[in-house]
Chains A and B, each alone.
Chain A
Amino acid sequence: MWQFILRRLLQSIIVIFGVTLISFSALHMAGDPTYLYVGERASEEEIARTRAALGFDKPLHIQYLTFLSRLARGDAGRSLTYRQPAMDVVLERLPATIELTLFAMFIAITLAIPFGIVASLNRGTAVDGGMMTLAMFGQSIPSFWFGIMLILFIGLGLRWLPISGHVAIIQPLLEGNFREAFTNFPQAIRYLLMPAITISLFSLSRNSRLVRSSMLEVLSQDYVRTARSKGLKESAVVIRHALRNAWMPVVTMIGLEFGFLLSGVVVVETVFSWPGVGRLVFNAINQRDIPLVQASVILFSLLFVGLNLIVDLLYARLDPRVRLG
C-alpha cells in the first residue's frame, strides 16, 4: 500500500515537471517570445528592454529554472491585458468554473447510472434502442453547438431559462457568507442548468453506454443468477448486486472526466458568457495575452493531476486488489 502511494506520488511529481516543461517550451516554440509581449510597432530599443526585463536574454535552462522557482511561489508572470499577476486573474475566475464543472459532472454521473440501468434491463427493446440512439447522437454533437441550440430554442424561443449570467455559490462560501450561498442556490441552478447540460452532454452519453454495457456483462454473471435464484427482489438484485460492480468503469473515470469537462468549459463558457476561466482564456486568445493562457493551462493541469492522484489513492483504499497488490 505504502509502496503504491509512494510510486503514485513520484509519478505525479514527474508529470508536474513535464507539465511545466511543456508549458515553458510552448512559449519558446515560435522563436524569441519577446515579440509576443511588445506591440507590433515597438522600436528595437524597446524590444531589447522588454527582453532584458523578462529575462528572455538568458540561456534557456536558466530561464526554465527561474520560471519554475517563480511558479513554485504561485507567480506565472503578469497578464498583458489586466496588468496584474496572471495567476491572480485566473484564480479569481476559478470558482465560477468549478461550480459549472462540478454541476456538469453531477449531471454526467447521476443521470448516466439510471439511464444505463434502464437500457440494460430493457435490452433489445425500443426503450434500449431509443436511449442508445440518443446517446450516439449525444456523443456526436459539438457541445458548443448544442449550447447555441439551447440558447436559440429554450432560452430565446420558449424563454424558460436565462441565456447568460451567473449567480455565485462558491465565492460567498469562501468568504464565509453561508447564508448568502444558501439563498443564492435556487437562482444559481437556473443559470447553471443550460451551460452544465451542454458541457455534460458528451460525458452523459458516453457514461450511459458504459453503464449499460457493464451492466449487461454483470447481469450475466453467476452471482447475479445466484441472487435471483435466492428469490431476491429484482430491485435488490440490480441495486445491491449488479450496480455495485457495474459502475466501476464510471468511478475509475471520474478523475479523467473532470479534466475532460474542464476542457469543455473554454468553448461553453464563451457561448453562455459565463464569467469563468474558460471565457477568460477565450478573451486572452483574442488579445494574445500569452501569460494568461499559460497560467490557465498550468492551473488546470495541476488541478487535473492533483485530482487524479486523489481519485487513485481513494480507489486504492477501496479496492482490495490494488490495496494488497
Chain B
Amino acid sequence: MSTATSANSEISAPSQSFAKELRRAGRSLFKAKWPVLAILILIAVVTASAIGPLIAPKDPNRQNIIKRLQEPYTVERSGEVEFLLGTDGLGRDVLSRLIYGARVSLLVGLTAVLIGGTLGVSLGLIAGYFGGRTDDIIMRLADIQLAFPFILLAIMFLVVLGPGLLNLVLVLGIGQWVTYARITRGQTVSQREKEYVEAARALGKRDLAIMFQSILPNIIAPLIVIASFNVASVILAEAALSFLGLGVPPTIPTWGGMLAESRDQLLAGRWWLAVYPGIAIMLTVLAFNILGDWLRDFLDPRLRTIG
C-alpha cells in the first residue's frame, strides 16, 4: 500500500499546479456534500473563537441570581427574549458561554495536535531513517506509552501538575506523538531506499535535510488525514478532562466544564444546560471527522484503513 501511495504522489504532484489542485479539491468537496457541512460548522466555530466577544450577547461570567435557571426562549415581561438559550445555575447566559467555549476547544485541539504532530513526526522520521538501535528505543517508548489507557495517563499527570491551559495542552499534545511516530516511521522505512533519497544523499545533502526536505513532503498525505481525526479526538479528550475538573480554571467557559456543571441540575430536568454544550462538542468533532474522511478519500483513497 505504502509503496503505491508514494509512487502515485511522486508522479502526480509536480505535474499539477497548486491552483488546479485547489479547484479539484473544491469540486470533490461539493460532490461529497458532507464536507460542505463540515466547512460550514468549522467557519461558525472559528468565527466564535476569533470574534466571540463581539458577537456574544452577554458577558459569559456575569451572574444574575434573580434570573437563574431560565428556560431557553423565556419571554420577559417586556415582551423580549433576553436569554435565547436560557441561563445556568448562577444566572449566566448559556449562549454567551457557548460562544466563548469554542475558543478553548479549538485552541486546545489545534495546539495539542501541533505539538504531538511535530514531536511524533520528528521521532518517526528519525526512527525510520536511521533504523537499528535508535529505531528500537523510540518504538519501545511508543509501546510503553500505548500501554497506558490515555485518559488515565493524562489524569495522573494533570492531578500532579495541577490543571490549567498550558498543562492541559502539553499533556494532550505529548499524548498524541505515538500515532504520528508510528505512521511516519512506517512510511519513512518504505521511502528510505528510494532513488530520490539516494540521489539526495549522493548530492551531499545532510541527513536532517533529507529527512525533512526530501522524505517528509512525500509522506505528508496520511499525516494530514491523521491530524484531522486527531483534532477531533483531542477535543473529545479535552471535554472529558474538563468534565472531570482537570481542564482550565472555571472562570474560563468551556463546553466540557458547562457539562460538568449541568450534572447538578440534571435530576431537576434542566435539560438545556446539558443539551447545548454537548451539541456544540458533537458538531465540532463531527466536522473534523468528516473532514478527515474526505481528506483521506481526496488525497489517496488507498489510505482507507486509517482511522
Residue from A145, A271, A293, A304 in contact with B147 in the complex, judged by beta carbons closer than 8 Å: A304
Residue of A whose beta carbon sits closest to that of B241: A267
- Say how far B155's CB is from chain A's closest CB, in angstroms: 7
B-contact 0/1 string along A253-283, CB 8 Å cutoff:
0001001101110110011000000000110
A245 proximal to B (CB < 8 A): no
- Say how far B74's CB is from chain A's closest CB, in angstroms: 20
A321 to B152 Cα, complex, angstroms: 35
Known contacts A29-B160, A213-B304, A259 near B149 by CB under 8 Å:
yes
- Say how far A245's CB is from chain B's closest CB, in angstroms: 14
List chain A residues, Cβ under 8 A from B232.
Answer: 139-140
Size range of the chain B interface in the assembly: 35 or more
A102 proximal to B (CB < 8 A): no
A-contact 0/1 string along B215-237, CB 8 Å cutoff:
00000000000000000100010
Size range of the chain A interface in the assembly: 35 or more
Known contacts A145-B282, A270-B244, A294 near B304 by CB under 8 Å:
no
List chain B residues, Cβ under 8 A from A213.
Answer: 304-305
A119 proximal to B (CB < 8 A): no
B151 touching A282, Cβ below 8 Å: no
A36 proximal to B (CB < 8 A): yes
Known contacts A151-B266, A260-B149, A301-B147, A267 near B243 by CB under 8 Å:
yes
A27 to B259 Cα, complex, angstroms: 29
A71 proximal to B (CB < 8 A): no
- Say how far B271's CB is from chain A's closest CB, in angstroms: 6
B149 touching A14, Cβ below 8 Å: no
Known contacts A137-B282, A156-B269, A263-B149, A144 near B155 by CB under 8 Å:
no
A199 to B293 Cα, complex, angstroms: 23
B165 proximal to A (CB < 8 A): no
A18 touching B147, Cβ below 8 Å: yes
A148 touching B149, Cβ below 8 Å: no
List chain A residues, Cβ under 8 A from B140.
Answer: 11, 14-15, 18
A142 touching B156, Cβ below 8 Å: no
List chain A residues, Cβ under 8 A from B259.
Answer: 142, 144-145, 148
A301 to B145 Cα, complex, angstroms: 10
- Say how far B205's CB is from chain A's closest CB, in angstroms: 35
A136 touching B290, Cβ below 8 Å: yes
A148 touching B147, Cβ below 8 Å: no
Which positions 1-50 of chain A face chain B at CB distance < 8 Å? 11, 14-16, 18-19, 22-23, 26-27, 29-30, 33, 36
B156 touching A294, Cβ below 8 Å: yes
B278 touching A148, Cβ below 8 Å: yes
Known contacts A144-B240, A267-B240, A285-B159, A22 near B274 by CB under 8 Å:
no
List chain B residues, Cβ under 8 A from A29.
Answer: 157, 160-161
List chain A residues, Cβ under 8 A from B159.
Answer: 284-285, 288, 290, 293
Known contacts A260-B149, A267-B243, A293-B155, A15 near B160 by CB under 8 Å:
no
A208 proximal to B (CB < 8 A): no
B244 touching A15, Cβ below 8 Å: no
Known contacts A137-B282, A145-B281, A285-B244, A26 near B269 by CB under 8 Å:
no
A297 proximal to B (CB < 8 A): yes
Known contacts A136-B290, A148-B266, A19 near B144 by CB under 8 Å:
yes
Known contacts A15-B144, A263-B149, A36 near B160 by CB under 8 Å:
yes
The 4 residue pairs across chains A and B that have the minimum distance between CB atoms: A18-B144, A263-B149, A145-B278, A140-B286
Binding site for A on B (CB under 8 A): 140-141, 143-153, 155-157, 159-162, 232, 236, 239-240, 243-246, 256, 259, 262-263, 266-267, 269, 271, 274-275, 277-278, 281-283, 285-286, 289-290, 293, 304-305
Q: A145-B282, A297-B153 are in contact. List 14 more A-B contacts (CB 8 A).
A: A19-B147, A141-B285, A142-B285, A145-B277, A145-B281, A148-B266, A149-B274, A156-B266, A156-B269, A270-B243, A270-B244, A271-B263, A297-B156, A304-B149
* Interface pairs (8), CB distance under 8 Å: A18-B143, A22-B153, A142-B243, A145-B239, A152-B271, A266-B240, A284-B159, A285-B159
